[in-house]
Amino acid sequence: MSRAVRNIGRVAALLGASLATALLIYLAVSLVVTTGAEKALEEENAYLREHYESLLERTALVDDVLDGLQVRDENIYHNIFDIYPPSAEALLGEDQEGSLERYYSYGEQELVEDSAAALETLEALSAQVDRQIKAITTRMDSEEFSKNNFPSVIPLSNFTIAQTGATVGRKINPFFKSMSVHGGIDLMAPYGTEVTATADGKVVEVLRQGSGMGNMVIIDHGDGLRTVYAHLSDIYVAINQKVARGKVIGKVGSSGASFTNALHYEVRKNGRPVDPVNYFFGSLSPALYSEMLLVANTTGQSLD
């Protein structure tokens, strides 16, 4: 019995010693022998280390150059327009980048407190948005909106953001290169593209002329809202004619003092021009709306 125990002990000792030996061999081989894979990796690491340093320097340099270019861009823009270029954040009231940076220095306690406060604000805001949406849907269901008399779409089909020109505001007149007030938005489109009424209404003005706004149609939608379509190459409606949303009223052209083929589109509320981009919600997703708003406001030169 005791002999068996002694034998088990011996075998265990032998196995332990063998394991230790294996470990010793492993360590010795690791230290002495360098395999091909290790050699390749060693070379790669050396290369990476060297290039990481140079890439870091090059990236920093590009950053510096870009900073310089941005300052130059702002100066050129300021030189021309007397204002600094609008940014997406300024237009949409968003703090898009770098907003998380301040959290890096926060401790856990601060993070929790800050998040709780933010959550409270968000809950209050979402309740408010909820009320507003309910009010909007109630109004939408009312008779007033059962008609398509609100100009909420883009007057061109297959419209892309790239076709956006300058919107309402002080813009550079392309002919005289001087600042002048632009009363609508330029929607660029090829000659002959169909122009559609943006809402139900009645044609109150049809002008055919070679100067100014060129061939032009004005539609009255009621509630003090009118839309203007100018520089048309052709007009298909007559004065006092009733039109429905989507009715083709003319074709894009460059009649009158227009720099190139484009539709000059205006929305007038009680006689005063408003930014049509804010009325395009029937055609645009929120993301496209932001993009169009930025392009339309950044474009410094109008086309008429």
Partner 1 sequence: MVARSGVSRKRWLAACVTLALGAAIYLLAVDLFQVKGLKLIVLEKQNSALLEKIDYINEKTKLQAERLEELQMRDNTVYRPIFGMDEIPADVRNAGYSFAGRYDSLQMFANADFLTQTLRRQDIIEKKTAIQSRSFDDIEKIATHLEDMSRSIPTLFPVCPAGVNITSQFGYRLHPIFQSVFFHSGTDIAGRKGMPVYAAADGVVREVKSSNAGYGNEVDIDHGFGYSTRYAHLNSSTVEPGQKVSRGDQVGTMGSSGRATGVHLHYEVLYKRQQVNPRNFFDSKIDPKTYMTQVRPAEKTSK
Query: Please, what is the minimum distance in Å from the beta carbon of residue 224 to partner 1?
Result: 32
The whole-angstrom separation of Cα 227 and Cα 68 is: 43
173: tokens are: 């007149």
* 3-state SS assignment for residue 155: coil
b/e sequence 190-199, b meaning 16+ C-beta within 10 Å: eeebbbbbbb
Q: How far is CA 106 from the centre of its chain?
A: 31
Of 100 and 238, nearer to partner 1 (C-beta) is 100
Query: Please, what is the minimum distance in Å from the beta carbon of residue 37 to partner 1?
Result: 6
* 3-state SS assignment for residue 158: coil
Query: Please, what is the minimum distance in Å from the beta carbon of residue 72 to partner 1?
Result: 5
Alpha helices, DSSP H, located in the chain = 2-32, 36-81, 88-92, 108-141, 143-146, 286-298
Of 80 and 135, nearer to partner 1 (C-beta) is 80
Please give the residue ranges that form the binding site for partner 1 (CB under 8 A).
14-15, 17-22, 24-27, 29-31, 33-35, 37-38, 40-45, 47-49, 51-52, 55-56, 58-59, 62-63, 65-66, 68-70, 72-73, 76-77, 79-80, 85, 172, 174-178, 210-211, 256-259, 298-301
Beta bridge partners of 181: 170
Query: Please, what is the minimum distance in Å from the beta carbon of residue 286 to partner 1?
Result: 20
The amino acid that residue 236 corresponds to is Y
Query: Please, what is the minimum distance in Å from the beta carbon of residue 182 to partner 1?
Result: 14
